[in-house]
Amino acid sequence: MLFFSLLLEVIWILAAEGVQLSLPPTMYLEGLPRKYVAAQLHLHWGETGSLRGSEHQINGEATAAELHIVHYDSDSYDSLGEAAPKPQGLAVLGILIEVGEAKNPVYEHILSHLHEIRHKDQKTSVPPFNVGELLPPQLNQFFRYNGSLTTPPCYQSVLWTVFNRRAQISMGQVSGGELEELQETLFSTEEEPSKLLVRNYRAPQPLNQRTVFASFIQVGSLYTTGEMLSLGVGILVGCLCLLLAVYFIARKIRKKRLGNRKTVVFTSARTTEA
């Protein structure tokens, strides 16, 4: 479904609402009704130290941060700006980011350049990296719905794809963790005292009759562990009963056949005698 290439040098730009990395149109999404080429990626996160900063929640669970990879319909429009207000003009990949034990090399790579752009309208370049490595495992598990941009003017123009699995970054008990880098590096103002750029996520909005499609069956939400266990035991007992039944029927049939064969043997024996 996705087509990712190794990125050439790209640029972080710090704008009022957050930090974004420009992406080349050679990167695009496959498997959608039209061709959507990449434009930029950006992140949303919470307050310093907070583990709630994602914009999407799966079963009511938020994660520490969220990555958005923004694409626009290049079959119909010439630029991101032109496509942004149009229905399904944009296709955005949403990646929930949670805090894990280990450092994530590719997130570390891109976030380590943030301190070069601490203030608004500054830019810095990031050496080449593989965008695909920013994505979580099991890309075939995702949610898809027609929604909006999460920053003003919040156009209803986004075909959202939110992955079920999460990417992991480290908190960094010792300084230098990736989440810490995100939460404590950027400032939203130029004047002193500088205001830290935090909590740039939008709270979840009502679904408003929208249908959210899942590309997979969500076992976890349908059954609890206890239900799964009893279901498993039930299936096992059922199989055993079936096996026993088949065994006894087979035995009965064999007995009957043996009985028949005896008569055949008997008959043929009599024929040879004659």
Q: Which parts of this chain interact with ligand NAG (CB under 6 A)?
A: 144-146, 211, 213
Phi and psi at residue 272, to the nearest 5°:
-65, -35
Whether 117 contacts 13, CB under 8 Å: yes
Task: Report the residue number, 142 or 201, with the smaller CB distance to ligand NAG.
Answer: 142
Tell me which residue has its CB nearest to ligand NAG: 146
Smallest distance from ligand NAG to CB 88, Å: 6
Task: Report the residue number, 52 or 144, with the smaller CB distance to ligand NAG.
Answer: 144
- DSSP bridge pairs for 97: 65, 167
Whether 38 contacts 24, CB under 8 Å: yes
Task: Report the residue number, 211 or 272, with the smaller CB distance to ligand NAG.
Answer: 211
Task: Report the residue number, 103 or 144, with the smaller CB distance to ligand NAG.
Answer: 144
Smallest distance from ligand NAG to CB 12, Å: 31
**Rounded Cα gap, residues 95 and 18, in angstroms:** 17
- Tokens 């996160």 label which residue? 45
Smallest distance from ligand NAG to CB 69, Å: 17
Smallest distance from ligand NAG to CB 144, Å: 5
Whether 66 contacts 96, CB under 8 Å: yes
Amino acid at 141: Q
Smallest distance from ligand NAG to CB 159, Å: 6
Task: Report the residue number, 37 or 91, with the smaller CB distance to ligand NAG.
Answer: 91
**Rounded Cα gap, residues 188 and 116, in angstroms:** 14
What is the token pair recorded at 238?
Answer: 């059922």
